[in-house]
Amino acid sequence: MQVEDIRPEGWACTYLIENEGKAVLIDPVWDYMSHYQSILADRDLELLACMATHTHADHITACFSLSQEQGVPFYMWKDTASLGVTHYVDENTNLTLAGVDYSFHHVPGHTSDSMIIAIPGHIFTGDFLFNGGAGVGRDDLPSGRLQEHWDSIQSLGHLSDDVLVCSGHEPPGTELQTLGWNREHNPIMTMKRFDEFVVWQNETAEKLGSVSKIKTALPANLFAEIPEHIPWLSR
């Protein structure tokens, strides 16, 4: 089995899980559909499924488009408000795709439908958890909740130190780290009190400012419709 971040540019990570000539995509971005399709074709891979760790606000997911075009399942957490999902997962879902076992853990906070996707040796954390100093994703966007995020961070005891944290956003070239490393070095994982987390999140949200693509990307993801006009692609 091979896991690879195949984003062509930008900070949003897209993971390809490849095994036995078959592939699963986690958090693909609609802007890069042709990039993914050429990777699949070049490597002679059959796409089995797409998954989204949560309803994204910063990009249009490619999950519903790939699902419709290629006739593959689109998996999301069971309570998501997003349309276009063909298969809902929960804590009891156990999937095997191309010989790789998948399980799912609800970690609300960044969004109410955030989940960790776990496969052997790796967890895909979306914006629930980043590597190192980047901490975690913001909680001031639709369905974000600080207390839920904090509680979700405290709920990871069952996960091994050894798993690699494959997060939803990292600066290009970032070396991914294990959960054990993050337990020692991630400022949120070492934090003791909820009020410290609130201060950290408020300061981070202020630094980040508004999400530039949210007014186009979020409705597209909720309604599973590609808008006629996509501002960042029509310059």
- Residues near Fe ion, by CB under 5 A: 127
Q: Minimum CB separation from Fe ion for residue 189, in Å?
A: 19
Q: Minimum CB separation from Fe ion for residue 141, in Å?
A: 7
Q: Minimum CB separation from Fe ion for residue 98, in Å?
A: 27
Q: Which is nearer to Fe ion, 18 or 128 (CB)?
A: 128
Q: Minimum CB separation from Fe ion for residue 55, in Å?
A: 8
Q: Minimum CB separation from Fe ion for residue 129, in Å?
A: 12
3-state secondary structure the chain: CEEEECCCCCCECCEEEEECCEEEEECCEHHHHHHHHHHHHHCCCEEEEEECCCCCCCCCECHHHHHHHHCCCEEEECCCCCCCCCEEECCCCCEEECCEEEEEEECCCCCCCCEEEEECCEEEEECCCCCHHHCCCCCCCCCCCHHHHHHHHCCCCCCCCCCEEEECECCCCCCCCEHHHHHHHCCCCCCCCHHHHHHHHHHHHHHHCCCCCHHHHHHHHHHCCCCCCCHHHCC
Distances (CA, A) of 89 to 61, 73, 119: 18, 12, 14
3-class DSSP state of 148: helix
Q: Which is nearer to Fe ion, 48 or 106 (CB)?
A: 106
Q: Which is nearer to Fe ion, 100 or 165 (CB)?
A: 165
Q: Minimum CB separation from Fe ion for residue 112, in Å?
A: 12
**Whole-angstrom Cα distance, residue 61 to residue 219?**
11
Q: Which is nearer to Fe ion, 18 or 127 (CB)?
A: 127
Output the residue with the shortest Cβ distance to Fe ion.
Answer: 127
Q: Which is nearer to Fe ion, 127 or 139 (CB)?
A: 127
Q: Which is nearer to Fe ion, 40 or 59 (CB)?
A: 59
